[in-house]
Structure 1
Amino acid sequence: MPVANKDLDSAFQSAGTNPGLEIWCIENQQLVPVSKSSHGRFYTGSAYIVLNAVFPKIGTPQYDIHYWLGNETKKVDSALASEKALELDAALGSCSVQYREIQGHESQKFLSYFKPCIIPVAGVFTSKQGSLNGEYQVRMYTCKGEYVVHVKEVPFLRSSLNHEDVFILDTASKIFLFSGCNSTIQERAKGLEVVQYIKDNKHGGKCEVATIEDGKFVGDSDVGEFWSLFGGYAPIPRDPHSAQESVAPSVKLFWINLQGKLCETGSEPFSKEMLETDKCYMLDCDSEIFVWMGRQTLLTERRTATKAIEEFVRNEGRSNKTHLTFLSEGLESPIFRSYFSNWPKTAEPRLYEEGKEKVAAIFKHQGYDVKELPEEDNEPSIDCSGKIKVWQVDGDELSLLSVAELTRLYSGDSYVVQYTFPGNGRDDTLFYAWLGSKSVTEDKTAAISHMNIMADSARNNPVVAQIHESKEPVQFFSILQRLIIFKGGNSSRYKKFIEEEGTTDETYNETQVALFRVQGTSPDNMQAIQVDQVSTSLNSSYCYILQTEASIFTWIGNLSSAPDHNLLDRMVELLNPKWLPVSVREGNESDAFWDALGGKAEYAKGKEIQGYADDPHLFALKVNGGKKNIPLRKIICFSLGLELSWMK
Structure 2
Amino acid sequence: MSISMKNLDPAFRGAGQKDGLEIWRIENFKPVPVPTSSHGKFYMGDSYIILKTTALKNGSFRHDIHYWLGKDTSQDEAGTAAILTVELDAALGGRAVQYRESQGNETEKLLSYFRPCIMPQPGGVASGFNHVEVNEQEHVTRLYVCRGKHVVHVKEVPFARSSLNHDDIFILDTKSKIFQFNGSNSCIQERGKALEVVQYIKDTFHEGKCEVAAVEDGKLMADAEAGEFWALFGGFAPLPRKTASEETGEETEAAVKLLCFNQGQLEPIGFESLTHDLLETNKCYLLDCGAQMYVWMGRTTSLQQRKGASEAAEKLLTGDSRTKSHVMKMIEGYETVTFKSKFNEWPPTPDLKLSSEDGRGKVAALLKSQGLDVKGLMKSAPVTEEPESYIDCTGHLQVWRVNGNAKTLLASSEQSKFYTGDCYIFQYTYTGEDKEECLIGTWFGNKSVEEERVAAISLASKMVQAAKFQATMLAFMKGKNQFSSLSYFRVSKCLRVVLALDTRNSLLKMVWMMIVTLKLD
- State the TM-score, normalizing by the size of structure 2: 0.56
Query: In 1, distance between residues paired with 2:350 and 2:264?
Result: 32
Amino acid at match of 2:171: I
> What is the DSSP-based 3-state SS (H/G/I as helix, E as strand, rest coil) of the residue aligned with 1:72?
coil
1:233–1:244 distance in 2 versus 1, CA, 3 Å: same
Per-residue deviation at 1:243? 4.8
Deviations 1:340-383 (A, max 9, x none): 7xxxx998668999xxxxxxxxxxxxxxxxxxxxx96347989x
Could you say what secondary structure the match of 1:189 adopts?
helix
Distance change in 2, residues 1:380/1:130 (3 Å): farther
AA matched with 1:149: V
Cα 1:140/1:328, change in 2 over 3 Å:
same
In structure 1, C-alpha distance between the alignment counterparts of 2:374 and 2:339, rounded to whole Å:
56
Q: Which residue of 1 aligns with 2:411?
A: none
Q: Measure, in 1, the Cα distance between the counterparts of 2:304 and 2:138.
A: 56
Counting only pairs closer than 5 Å after superposition, residues 186-335 of structure 1 correspond to structure 2 as: 186-217=189-220, 219-240=222-243, 242-243=246-247, 246=250, 248-249=252-253, 251-254=255-258, 256=260, 284-290=288-294, 309-310=313-314, 312-315=316-319, 317-325=320-328
The correspondence for 1:616, drawn from 367, 372, 382, is 372
Deviations 1:114-142 (A, max 9, x none): 01111111123799856744642222111
Residue 114 (structure 1) aligns with: 114
SS of the residue aligned with 1:120? Answer: coil
- Paired residue total: 366
Structure 1 equivalent of residue 182 of structure 2 = 179
Q: Residues 9-408 of structure 1 correspond to what in structure 2 (within 5 A)?
A: 9-12=9-12, 15-27=15-27, 31-89=31-89, 92=92, 96-124=96-124, 132-133=135-136, 135-217=138-220, 219-240=222-243, 242-243=246-247, 246=250, 248-249=252-253, 251-254=255-258, 256=260, 284-290=288-294, 309-310=313-314, 312-315=316-319, 317-325=320-328, 377-378=355-356
Q: Compared with structure 1, are the counterparts of its residues 16 and 243 closer, same or farther at alpha carbon in structure 2 (3 Å cutoff)?
A: closer
1:192 alignment partner, SS class: helix
Deviations 1:432-483 (A, max 9, x none): xxxxxxxxxxxxxxxxxxxxxxxxxxxxxxxxxxxxxxxxxxxxxxxxxxxx
The 3-state SS of whatever aligns with 1:211 is strand
For 1:48 and 1:152, the matched residues in 2 are separated by 19
Once the two structures are superposed, residues 373-424 of structure 1 have per-residue CA deviations (whole angstroms, 9 ceiling, x without a partner) of xx96347989xxxxxxxxxxxxxxxxxxxxxxxxxxxxxxxxxxxxxxxxxx
- CA gap of 1:286–1:612, structure 2 versus 1, over 3 A, is farther
Deviation at 1:113, TM superposition (A): 0.8
- Highest RCO, 1 vs 2 (Cα 8 Å, sep ≥ 6): 2
Q: Where does 1:478-489 land on structure 2 (aligned, <5 Å)?
A: none
**Mean Cα displacement is larger for which, 20-29 or 169-178?**
20-29
**CA shift for structure 1 position 181:** 2.4
* Larger CA deviation: 300-309 vs 114-123: 300-309
* Counterparts in 2 of 1:229 and 1:78: CA distance versus 1, 3 Å: same
Distance 1:307 1:92, change over 3 A: closer
Letter in 2 for 1:196: Q
1:193 CA displacement:
1.5
DSSP-derived class of the 1:242 partner: helix
TM-score by length of 1: 0.46
Give deviations 1:613-641, integer Å, cap 9, x for gaps.
6463479xxxxxxxxxxxxxxxxxxxxxx
Kept in 2, the 8 Å contact 1:46–1:70? The answer is yes
Per the alignment, in what secondary structure is the counterpart of residue 322 of structure 2? coil
Larger of the two Rg values belongs to structure? 1
Spell out, residue by residue over 1:131-158, the C-alpha distance to the aligned partner (whole angstroms, 9 max, x if none).
7446422221111222221111122121
Residues 180 and 215 in structure 2, CA contact (< 8 A), matched pair in contact too: yes
1:70 to partner: Cα distance: 0.9
C-alpha distance in structure 2 between counterparts of 1:276 and 1:3, whole Å: 22
Q: Matched residue of 1:199: which SS?
A: helix
Whether the 8 Å CA contact 2:79–2:311 is kept in 1: the answer is no
* Mapping of residues 452-463 of structure 1, within 5 Å: none
Change in CA separation of 1:325 and 1:76 when aligned onto 2, cut-off 3 Å: closer
CA-atom RMSD, angstroms?
4.7
> For 1:9 and 1:272, how far apart are their aligned partners in 2?
35
Given that residues 255 and 279 in structure 1 are in contact (C-alpha distance below 8 angstroms), is that contact kept between their aligned partners in structure 2? Answer: no
Q: Which amino acid letter does the alignment assign opposite residue 215 of structure 1?
A: G
- Alignment correspondent of 1:539: none
Percent identity of paired positions between Structure 1 and Structure 2: 47
Q: Over residues 541-584 of structure 1, what are the superposed CA-to-partner deviations in whole Å (9 max), with x where a residue is unaligned?
A: xxxxxxxxxxxxxxxxxxxxxxxxxxxxxxxxxxxxxxxxxxxx
Letter in 2 for 1:377: S
- Alignment partner, residue 442 of structure 1: none
State the alpha-carbon separation in 1 of the partners of residues 141 and 181 from structure 2: 15
